[in-house]
Chain A
């Protein structure tokens, strides 16, 4: 019987990480920005039906980049996890923190156990109910989890976007201002104009009823993007 090849764990992890990074770098990026009334999430996405941003539970939203099939599966599992928990206990017991931890475990396990790691990076976002701040968690392909403040970015150009936002972000933005900040960052990173048709935008609006997530349809997006920063909404 031939002996299996020996590969050092360091080498194996490095190779997997490189593979995953390459896969993610191919895709477009996503930005989440806090604004006065909640959290805005913007993704460059030419498809109108294959969404990258989605509702998970009352106050929680999800965004994923990388391989569509892989983050879509994570999204669905997240909804199942959240709905089961909310049904077994209470609606306010479903938190972004526990969901992000569950994601971190799953993605981390797949990274170390499976031959092919997941080529995804995801955001789990929660809009705060009252005084406490919003929560933003970024989970990478290896399961590492980071707690972000004010803004969060994922995808191939996450670092460039982050640099842009570090200079431009101000607390207490209005919704149109936050949207323009996000599109500005995407445009700077891609060095070209972003069209409204190629943009997928969702918001977690604190003022909404039980389910805070809402997609911003194209008809509403255009005037928001074009209007001047008067904070009309």
Chain B
């Protein structure tokens, strides 16, 4: 606690506070003495996370598998996090820094809200996340890439919104749907054919799961629905009323239905 009378307001950002007072809690911010890798940082391996807009807001979802090289590291890792009551973050990249960034971002939003008495605007949250990714650039140059997909409900515009990022912290608005990770391209192709504006909630859940199943089908780094261990993708719905998780039983039933439909058409 700062007790000096010549106290300067530390601002309302938790990220800045940690950087000033406890820098050891953040990943190393300089890459001094470390040779950057050749060429561009690699795209994150072994993940598919996606977001898509629908009638009531936005849906954000991800598979559950983490890989180490060609091995499965974890079958039930969580890649989609509620950032606050009206936004969620899904992350692709090196697992450790990813989980840290999600936790830091959650604290950042709650911290701001408590200090200021109001939540940040969705735009403000998206920009703050961009700064955090930029701060991670030196690590990214060494191969520990963190790239999130950010989705939330914009209460001033009354609609769901999706933001994607690049490794340098560039921030881009996505109008309909997007997916990132090693299976991101497959999920995008899938959504390209299935997506239409003004989807209802059950339709949006169906489209998201179709895309994740397609991604798991094409990409070895993405885990599909696992009926033996009962592990299924996680989906969150962000609407005006707040954020809610789609119950596992519902996801399981929907996955079952998708696979049954594909049994009739084995070529997919």
Q: How far is the CA of A142 from the CA of B86 in the complex (A)?
A: 42
Q: Which residues of B contact A110 (CB under 8 A)?
A: 3, 5
| B19 shortest CB reach to chain A, Å | 11
Q: Of residues 72 to 116 in B, which have CB atoms within 8 Å of A's CB atoms?
A: 103-104, 107, 110-111, 114-115
| A61 shortest CB reach to chain B, Å | 11
Q: Which residues of A contact B7 (CB under 8 A)?
A: 73
**1/0 per position for B1-44, CB-CB distance to A under 8 A?**
11101010110001001100110010000000000000000000
Chain B binding surface, main DSSP class: helix
| A113 shortest CB reach to chain B, Å | 9
CB-based contact B3/A76 at 8 Å: no
Q: Which residues of B contact A102 (CB under 8 A)?
A: 1
| Neighbour of B114 across the interface among A77, A79, A88, CB < 8 A | A79
CB-based contact A106/B1 at 8 Å: yes
CB-based contact A84/B3 at 8 Å: no
Which chain B residue has the least Cβ–Cβ distance from A107?
Answer: B3
Q: How far is the CA of A206 from the CA of B104 in the complex (A)?
A: 25
For the complex, is A144 an interface residue (Cβ under 8 Å from B)? no
For the complex, is B247 an interface residue (Cβ under 8 Å from A)? no
Q: Which residues of A contact B9 (CB under 8 A)?
A: 76
Q: With A77-B1, A102-B1, A106-B3 known to touch, is A84 a contact of B114 (CB < 8 Å)?
A: no
CB-based contact B5/A84 at 8 Å: no
Which of B3, B10, B22, B103 is the most central at the interface, judged by chain A CB atoms within 10 Å of its CB?
B3
| Neighbour of A56 across the interface among B21, B114, B117, CB < 8 A | B114
Q: How many A-B residue pairs have CB under 8 A?
A: 52
For the complex, is A187 an interface residue (Cβ under 8 Å from B)? no
**1/0 per position for A97-121, CB-CB distance to B under 8 A?**
0000011011001100010000000
| A76 shortest CB reach to chain B, Å | 6
| A115 shortest CB reach to chain B, Å | 10
For the complex, is A81 an interface residue (Cβ under 8 Å from B)? yes
CB-based contact A84/B22 at 8 Å: yes
CB-based contact A114/B114 at 8 Å: no
Q: How far is the CA of A73 from the CA of B9 in the complex (A)?
A: 9
Which chain B residue has the least Cβ–Cβ distance from A58?
Answer: B110
- Chain A interface residue count, CB cutoff 8 Å, equals 25
Contact-residue size bin, chain B (C-beta under 8 Å from the other chain): 20 to 34
| B99 shortest CB reach to chain A, Å | 13
CB-based contact B18/A77 at 8 Å: no
Q: How far is the CA of A89 from the CA of B117 in the complex (A)?
A: 25
Q: Which residues of A contact B2 (CB under 8 A)?
A: 77, 80
Which of A80, A81, A86 is the most central at the interface, judged by chain B CB atoms within 10 Å of its CB?
A80
Q: Which residues of A contact B18 (CB under 8 A)?
A: 84, 87
For the complex, is A197 an interface residue (Cβ under 8 Å from B)? no
CB-based contact B10/A80 at 8 Å: yes
For the complex, is A83 an interface residue (Cβ under 8 Å from B)? yes
| B120 shortest CB reach to chain A, Å | 15
Which of A87, A88, A109, A114 is the most central at the interface, judged by chain B CB atoms within 10 Å of its CB?
A87
Q: With A84-B17, A87-B103 known to touch, is A114 a contact of B5 (CB < 8 Å)?
A: yes
Which chain B residue has the least Cβ–Cβ distance from A56?
Answer: B114
Q: Which residues of A contact B17 (CB under 8 A)?
A: 80, 83-84
Q: How far is the CA of A102 from the CA of B2 in the complex (A)?
A: 10
CB-based contact A84/B21 at 8 Å: yes
| B20 shortest CB reach to chain A, Å | 10
CB-based contact B14/A83 at 8 Å: yes
| Neighbour of A81 across the interface among B1, B25, B114, CB < 8 A | B1
| Neighbour of B115 across the interface among A49, A76, A86, A87, CB < 8 A | A76
Q: Which residues of A contact B1 (CB under 8 A)?
A: 77-78, 80-81, 102-103, 105-106
Q: Which residues of A contact B110 (CB under 8 A)?
A: 83, 211
Q: How far is the CA of A105 from the CA of B17 in the complex (A)?
A: 21
Q: Which residues of A contact B21 (CB under 8 A)?
A: 84
Q: Of residues 164 to 199 in A, which have CB atoms within 8 Å of B's CB atoms?
A: none
What residues of chain B have their CB less than 8 Å away from a CB belonging to chain A? 1-3, 5, 7, 9-10, 14, 17-18, 21-22, 25, 103-104, 107, 110-111, 114-115, 117
In the complex, 9 of the A-B residue pairs with CB atoms within 8 angstroms, ordered by the A residue number, are: A49-B117, A78-B1, A79-B111, A84-B18, A86-B107, A87-B18, A102-B1, A106-B3, A211-B110
Q: A76-B115, A80-B111, A103-B1 known; 5 other A-B pairs, CB under 8 Å? A: A80-B1, A84-B21, A86-B107, A87-B107, A105-B1
9 closest A-B pairs (Cβ-Cβ)?
A106-B3, A83-B111, A102-B1, A79-B114, A81-B1, A77-B1, A87-B107, A106-B1, A55-B114
